[in-house]
Structure 1
Amino acid sequence: MNRVDGESISRLLRAWRSRVDARTVPELRGLYPRPGRRLSQAHVARMTGVSEGWYRALEAGRRQDFSESFLLRVAQALRLSEAETLTLFLAVCGRRPPGLLAPDPTDLPRGVQALLEQQVSYPAYLSDVAWNVVAVNPLMGEWFPWVLRPGANLMRWTLLDPEAREQMLDWEDSCARIYLAMLRVAANSDPANAELRTLVRDILEADADCRRIWSEESDVVEHRDGHVFRLRLPYHGNAEIRVTTHVLLPIQRPDLRFVFITPMDGWAGV
């Protein structure tokens, strides 16, 4: 935390602490002398299991090796909202709190759902951090019927389904290497995510080509926005087409990817 950030989070922490009535805190009952209305730094330290000096360093904005579990306990002790917890984490350690964004992936904000439904010109879909398909527009289901199957997952279909190797031309260089490079980034950016670890393990165990590419390559790719694919789909009579993918992150649900697919070269056969 630099000086400005430290002063800012210090002021916020003091304000958040001052609004908690110590008399309503179960962990402080039975203390002698009995706490008054004001929640003190010593009280918060007791509630979070650290020394008063350690908590005082946080509130003073001094840089320390504050753990995520400690910051989560502070958020609970001060009864912070999700936005306040996010602010605390960003100010102190520059990252989002673990598990803050864990809503039901199918519970879409109205605006995101409307944007997907109103995209009628091109295929579009939503996927989560592990590339599970959460929702699609009708055209996506017509182009790629596999997305309508229960448990549809982009990585599993692209890398493991024989159908993908027929429909995605130049599969190894244009598709497999890109998708495996994306998995490499995801697995390292969130090592605690068991679903991502399982996804990588299942793909590498199931396919020799993926194992070979994984061992040969060290490339990393964060996303495939703007990537060009050559496709041959039954929907288009198996004629070859070139498309571009566009990847957006909905501000209301940054745990989701909003992806839509547009034709290249002015082709209007959709």
Structure 2
Amino acid sequence: MPPGQRLNSPCGAIYLRLTDTCTVGIGGRVDGADHVDGESISRLLRAWRARVDARTVPELRGVFPRPGRRLSQAHVARMTEVSEGWYRALEAGRRQDFSEQFLLRVARALRLSDAETLTLFLAVSGRRPPGELSREAGAGRGDLPHGVKALLEQQTSYPAYLSDVAWNIVAANSLMSEWFPWVLRPGANLMRWALLDPEAREQMLDWENACARTYLAMLRVAANSDPANAELRTLVRDILDADADCRRIWAEEHDVVEHRDGDVFRLRLPFHGGREIRVTSHVLLPIQRPDLRFVFITPVDGWTAP
């Protein structure tokens, strides 16, 4: 995918996980493919239901006749507050307009793990479970996987940082803080700095085209991907309320950009004595914490001493 390319294909590029726009059809079929790839969700649902002992399900207490060990489709329908026919359609692999709340109730009824719930959502709707990233982020900024933290700290050749879904800076290596001292400020946020801080307009060359338009397009994707995220809504509102240029760009454009991986841009930083440099950003998603972005910056033309 070329750097900065807009999302105009059914499956936008991503790293280490499926995107919300890449649909895995119910029954294990990948849309646009000519074959069934992998085990169907119908078979998985039957297997998940079969492992639940109906006698241990509190929601079925008082049901007559008293259920035996086998959890039936009728039981799951009762537990998920739908008709038996509606649940049967899901288990049979028939396409319906299954709501996220219904799928969450199915996951609870069948006692699915996080990975199983993810599989159910991707197979049926092509989307990840709602609020998944918010729950993962709830582990706290200090709770970084050891390997991710070590990789960041040991990255001494290139500036690198971790940001969350709202572009708050979670951690940064020493070279990043030398290039961009603002990352050390309390509450440092990439979008607020890049779009609202006058310093960014001096240091990010061709600020409107190379910075503002791209970052606003990224905000548009994020806000629409997780509309329930109050922090993202506040971030967008604060930026648009505070800056006339951002309001103008937001109103006149409808571009969307998922990430800035592979994007080349120009900087003029005090660290380099005000000399212009060209760099490339690289964006990775840690598999243990997909709510975080691991970003590092490399030179296009090779390093020279500052």
- 1:65 aligned counterpart, secondary structure: coil
Please list the CA deviations of residues 59-104 of structure 1 after superposition, one character each: whole Å capped at 9, or x if unmatched. Answer: 1111111111000000001100000101111111111111223222
Residues 124, 140 of structure 1: 8 Å contact kept: yes
Residue 90 (structure 1) aligned with residue 130 (structure 2)? no
* 1:230 to partner: Cα distance: 2.1
CA RMSD of aligned residues (A): 1.8
- Contact map agreement 2:239 2:246 (CA 8 A) in 1: yes
Q: What is the identity, as a one-letter code, of the residue corresponding to 2:174? A: P
In the alignment, the residues of structure 2 paired with residue 4 and residue 169 of structure 1 have an alpha-carbon distance, to the nearest angstrom, of 47
Equivalent position SS for 2:171: strand
> Structure 1 residue 165 and structure 2 residue 218: aligned?
no
Kept in 1, the 8 Å contact 2:223–2:233? The answer is yes
- How many residue pairs get aligned? The number is 270
**Aligned equivalent of 1:57:** 89
Aligned-pair identity in percent equals 84
CA distance in 1, matches of 2:178, 2:97: 52
Tell me, yes or no, if the aligned pair for 1:187 and 1:196 is still in contact at 8 Å.
yes
The question of whether the paired residues in 2 share the 8 Å contact of 1:124 and 1:258 is answered with: yes
3-state SS of the aligned residue for 1:223?
coil
Q: Which one of 61, 67, 74 corresponds to residue 106 of structure 2? A: 74
What corresponds to 2:159 in structure 1?
123
The aligned runs of 1:1-270 (5 Å cut-off) are 1=25, 5=29, 8-101=40-133, 102-103=135-136, 104-106=139-141, 107-269=143-305
More helix by share: 1
The equivalent of 2:19 in structure 1 is none
Shift of 1:192: 2.7
TM-score (norm 2): 0.83
TM-superposed deviation, 1:254: 2.2
Q: Which has the higher contact order (CA 8 A, sep 6+)?
A: 2
Any gaps of 5 or more consecutive residues in structure 1?
Answer: none
Indicate the larger mover: 241-250 or 147-156: 241-250
Verify the 8 A CA contact 1:82 1:100 in the aligned structure 2.
Answer: no
Which range moved further: 87-96 or 235-244?
235-244
Q: Matches of 1:259 and 1:209 in 2, distance apart?
A: 26
Give the structure-1-normalised TM-score: 0.93
Write the letter of the residue equivalent to 1:185: V
Moved more, 182-191 or 60-69: 182-191
Question: Structure 2 unaligned runs (5+)?
Answer: 1-24, 30-35
Runs of 4+ in 1 over 3 A off after TM superposition: 1-7
Letter in 2 for 1:24: T
Provide the rounded CA distance (Å) in 2 between the counterparts of 1:164 and 1:3. 49
Q: Distance in 2 between matches of 1:9 and 1:121?
A: 45
- Would the aligned equivalents of 1:105 and 1:134 in 2 still touch at CA under 8 Å? no
Distance 2:270 2:73 in 1: 66
Instruction: Mark the structure with the bigger radius of gyration.
Output: 1
Shift of 1:47: 0.7
Q: Distance in 1 between matches of 2:169 and 2:246?
A: 21
